[in-house]
Structure 1
Amino acid sequence: MRARLAGIACVVALVAAVAWQWRADDADARAHTLTGLDPDAVRHIDVQLRGLPDQRFDRHDGHWTNAGAKADEGRAEDLASLAATPVASWRAASEFDAAKIGLSPPVAVLVLDDVRLEFGDMTALGKQRYVKVGNRIAIVPAQALPRAPRTASLPTTAGAVP
């Protein structure tokens, strides 16, 4: 009987240790991402890209809308996924001249729920870019940038010969 109780105690202790490690790993992973937001939980997205009109997306019943109309679901999901962008390093914003790293004005501004992300230029070395989050600058992969909306295809003329 004692052996059985000792075995059960060991299993309970092991499960508790695994759960604690899992929680610690999850917290550590979120510390190394652009935001602590879960992309699947983002409800509102505002995006500003140079030279394009501002856009807003809202998630209702699992679907994205833009100004009340059906939105490009793929684009909205791509924008929300930027919340979990991996960060190579964090630095204080005061260490940089915003104009020199493309943040005055930013290349793009993305607001996920209430978290504002300002995207700047690429770094001098490596394929990375600057992103301002609050009073910190993140160094992230270069491709981490809100994409422009899809444009309509150009009309073609069937049978036209140049």
Structure 2
Amino acid sequence: MSEKRKMWIWLLIPFLYGALSFVLSWVVPPLVAQIVFGAFWLWVGMRFARLSGSSIKNFVWGNSLWLISFLLLIWQFVLVEDENRNMAIAAVSQNYMLSFVLSGAWIYRLFDTTIIQTTPIMILAYTVMFAVFAIGFVWGKIKKKTQVEHV
């Protein structure tokens, strides 16, 4: 299997987890999902950092499905009124970040302990997901550079 095909599979895994959770009404306990997918997403960021070619292109490619899902979420939950929301698009937009929802809720609770609002939690979950990938990407670049210097 080609390296590019593998990378697409890695990018699809968070979406597949969210979609299966939605369809089967089966969700891994949030703390377990957060730890497992946090470590996985950090690793994926590191893998994209080690690809040959432009670092910028690899970073954008690694976040391409994230960006599409995030923009769909913003469109459906921020820009569109509730009665005009497309439920299929709204559901799909939540799949990608589902495993990061707990961290989004934790951050949200730091700022507001009175009422739970799901849209800010989802946006924060996407933000954490992006940050974890970015940290993995930078870490992968640093590791790649130090390995080259030691050779």
**TM-score using structure 1 length:** 0.25
Structure whose residues are more often strand by fraction: 1
> Which has the bigger relative contact order, CA under 8 A and spacing at least 6?
2
Structure whose residues are more often helix by fraction: 2
Greater radius of gyration (CA): 1
